[in-house]
Amino acid sequence: MIGEVFTWLNDPGHWKDTRFDTGIATQLTAHVRFCAFALLVALIIALPLGLVIGHTGRGRWLIAAANTLRALPTVGVLVLLTVVIAPHFYGRTDTGYLIPTEIVLIVLAIPSILSNTFAGVENVDPAVRDAAEGMGMTGKQVLLKVELPCSLPLIFSGFRSATLQVIATATIASYLPLGGLGRFIYDGLAQQDFPQMIGGGVLVAGLALVADLLLYLVQRYTVSRGLTGRFSKKRIPDARLASVTQAEVAAV
């Protein structure tokens, strides 16, 4: 079976579009597009909200409310929204199916980004915050120059888990007549073409891993080294070390 899955993935005919079948390349792009749009919108909504709630301490109930969104059954909401929205769109358009899908994915992504951003800002060391205020920084400066950089590791972990969830869940777009990698999973099951079904699953998992790796790289180069304690070993200034020892020697 593993061999058949590999053969299926390895077949260039499956990567190209044909008359009745959409190839892996196109579906992969479609999948990435669904996910990227949903994550971007979720980030635009949840990041500022989380920063403000964490900074002011007001509106905490919103965090709890957002977390209850996690309990929504995604497929149920998708079908409900489709029944309500899809009949309003006529002609050669899949907007009527695209809107419910994106709403569902955005709702899925918001809670983890929002609650992690909030927790990140909330948990900044009070001494650091006091020091910033003591230096005469305004509230806005404290938030953007101190609290935001300090909470970046938690914000990233929230965004990364949202990304994984969205990439995995975007397969339900294929429950409606939309593309995406879910197409292979649904169609493979219906056609009893199991290599295709598992191949689709492998592609989703692969995409999730690659996305997480990319976000890890972004995180690595954006989070302050003062927080991670990750200093380059090569650039330890030998001269300074030497001068310290010399000073010590002199003192003695």
Partner 1 sequence: MNRKTLMLAAAAAALSLGLSACGADSSKTSTGASTGSGSAGTTTIASKLIMGGPPEFKTRPDGLPGLKKNYGVVFGKYTVTDTGGPVTVSSLKNGQIDAADLFTTDPSIQANGFVILEDPKSNFAAQNIVPIISKAKATDGVKKILNGIQAKLTTDGLGQLLTKVQNQKQDPDAVAKQWLSDNGLSGTGSSASGVKLTVGSANFPENVILADIYAEALKAQGASIKTTLNIGSREKYYAGLKDGSIDLFAEYTGTILQFIDKNATATSPDDVYAALVKALPSNLIALDKAQAQDSDAIVVTKATADKYSLKTIADLAKTG
Where on the chain is the footprint of partner 1 (CB under 8 A)?
Answer: 7, 9-16, 18-21, 82-83, 86-87, 89-94, 96, 174, 176-177, 183, 186-187, 189-193, 210, 213, 216-217
**Among residues 14 and 31, whose Cβ is nearest to partner 1?**
14
Name the minimum Å distance from CB 2 to partner 1.
14
For 71-157, list the strands marked E by DSSP. none
C-alpha span between 185 and 172 (Å, rounded): 10
**Among residues 71 and 190, whose Cβ is nearest to partner 1?**
190
Name the minimum Å distance from CB 80 to partner 1.
12
C-alpha span between 118 and 64 (Å, rounded): 11
H-state helical runs in 57-174: 60-68, 74-85, 95-122, 126-134, 139-141, 148-169
Q: Name the DSSP class of 61.
A: H
**Among residues 11 and 130, whose Cβ is nearest to partner 1?**
11
Name the minimum Å distance from CB 187 to partner 1.
4
Q: Name the DSSP class of 181.
A: T
**Among residues 112 and 196, whose Cβ is nearest to partner 1?**
196
Q: Is 20 helix (H, G, I), strand (E, B) or coil?
A: coil
C-alpha span between 15 and 9 (Å, rounded): 8
Q: Is 122 helix (H, G, I), strand (E, B) or coil?
A: helix
**Among residues 10 and 56, whose Cβ is nearest to partner 1?**
10
Name the minimum Å distance from CB 225 to partner 1.
16
C-alpha span between 179 and 193 (Å, rounded): 18
Name the minimum Å distance from CB 44 to partner 1.
29
Residue 230, exposed/middle/buried by CB under 10 A (0-12, 13-18, 19+)? exposed
Name the minimum Å distance from CB 11 to partner 1.
5
**Among residues 145 and 230, whose Cβ is nearest to partner 1?**
230
